Amino acid sequence: IPSMRHARMFPAAAVVGKNIYIAGGNIQSTAECYDTDTQRWKETNPMRTKRSGHAAVSLGNSIVVMGGLGLLSAEQYNTATEQWSAFPSMNEVRGYCAAAVLNGRIIVVGGCDRNARALSSAE
C-alpha cells in the first residue's frame, strides 16, 4: 500500500466496502480514503472538527468518528455523498477510546477524560 497523503499520529480508521477511511490525527481535520481497486489514496472532505486520539466505526455506508482529546462530540461521513454531518455527542469527554458496533448500535468504551484520567465507563 502506498503512503498516505498526510502524516498522522493517533488517527482513526474504518472500512466501508473495499475502501479504508482514515481521519484526523495530530489534531487535524483532514481525511482520506484508500481505494483498493485503484490502489491509491484520495483526499476526502475534511471533518467538521479537528481530532486526535478519537475512535471510528463503520455504520452501514457511513463512518462515525467520536471523541478525541478533550472532545465528546461525534460526526458522520456519508461515503455516498462524501459529506460530514453532526452526529449525537457522547455523554462524556473521551480521548484514546475504543468503539465497536453491536447489533447496529455504537458502543464506546474507556479512554481518558479532560484531565488524562483513565475511564472505565462505556456508553
pTM for this prediction: 0.95
Q: What percent of the chain is modeled with pLDDT above 70?
A: 100
Question: Domains of the chain: which residue ranges?
Answer: 12-109
Instruction: Give 67-123 pLDDT, tens digit per residue.
Output: 999 999 999 999 999 999 999 999 999 999 999 999 999 999 999 999 999 999 999
pLDDT of residue 15: 98
Tell me how far apart the alpha carbons of residues 59 and 65 are, in angstroms, rounded to a whole number.
10
CA distance to 10, 48, 84, 103, per residue, from 30 (Å): 13, 9, 12, 30
pLDDT at 103 (0 to 100): 96
pLDDT in tens, 17-53: 999 999 999 989 999 999 999 999 999 999 999 999 9
